[in-house]
Amino acid sequence: MAEQASIDTSAPAEEGVRRRDFINIAAVSFAGVGGAAVLVPLVSQMAPSADVLAQSSTEIDISAIQPGQAIKAVFRKQPVFIRNLTPEEISAAEKVDVASLRDPQSLEERTKEGKTNWLITMGVCTHLGCVPLGAGEGEVKGEFGGYFCPCHGSSYDTAARIRKGPAPKNLEVPEYAFTSDTVVKIG
């Protein structure tokens, strides 16, 4: 140690980068990058695994749903609400001034063309993920006639748009397509 110190002090400063400095920095950098690279699998293993990602689409027969009725289906282990809106519900949704909404969207933007009566949304409250009430027979629909989340009191209207309570967004409309008049494919 004493010998080392004497070498360091005797070495003239103008010699610049020494061979040993280079080796030190190179070795530590190399080990550092290698160490950081180990984090990739450690972090990535937490993300959804292949079998979870595989459950990416669901086909649902909607022929039995009468106007005013709704069903709960399952998509990616989460509920999906499929509602057949009544004409009154459609007009109630259309009467609202879109600009006045927290998450401004019209009923047309939230449904497929020519199928305005089919409101398909995730059954996941955008606040903290509870399942809102209103899809089942006899459940509370909240003061705007759509869905009501019992957890923190968010109320959605007949187009499942957020109207009151802490939720920031309308109920999410998943990607879907009608494969026929009576079958819808979600995802």
Q: Which residues are catalytic?
A: 152
In the complex, the smallest distance separating the C-beta of residue 80 from other proteins, rounded to whole angstroms, is 10
**Range 74-93, binding other proteins (CB under 8 A):** 74, 76-79
- The Cα 172–Cα 124 span in angstroms is 8
Does residue 95 interact with other proteins by CB under 8 A? no
In the complex, the smallest distance separating the C-beta of residue 84 from other proteins, rounded to whole angstroms, is 19
Q: Cβ-count burial of 34 within 10 angstroms (0-12 exposed, 13-18 middle, 19+ buried)? A: exposed
Pick the binder of other proteins from 7, 24, 61, 72 (CB under 8 A).
72
| Tokens matching residue 175 | 């990607």
Q: Using the minimum distance from each CB to other proteins, give the nearer residue, 90 or 132.
A: 132
41, 86, 43, 50: which is closest to 65 by C-alpha? 86
Provide the mask over 135-174, with x wherever binding to other proteins is found by CB under 8 A and - wherever it is not.
--------------xxxxx-----------xxxx------
- Dihedral, CA atoms, 139, 140, 145, 148, nearest 10 degrees? -110
Pick the binder of other proteins from 11, 23, 28, 52 (CB under 8 A).
52
Q: Which of helix, strand or coil describes residue 149?
A: coil
| Tokens matching residue 123 | 């059954």
- The Cα 95–Cα 107 span in angstroms is 10
Does residue 65 interact with other proteins by CB under 8 A? no
Q: Using the minimum distance from each CB to other proteins, give the nearer residue, 18 or 169.
A: 169
In the complex, the smallest distance separating the C-beta of residue 168 from other proteins, rounded to whole angstroms, is 4
Instruction: For residue 50, give Cα distances in angstroms to 58, 102, 121.
Output: 17, 36, 25
Does residue 175 interact with other proteins by CB under 8 A? no
Q: Which residues bind other proteins (CB under 8 A)?
A: 46-49, 52, 72, 74, 76-79, 102, 123, 126-133, 149-153, 165-168
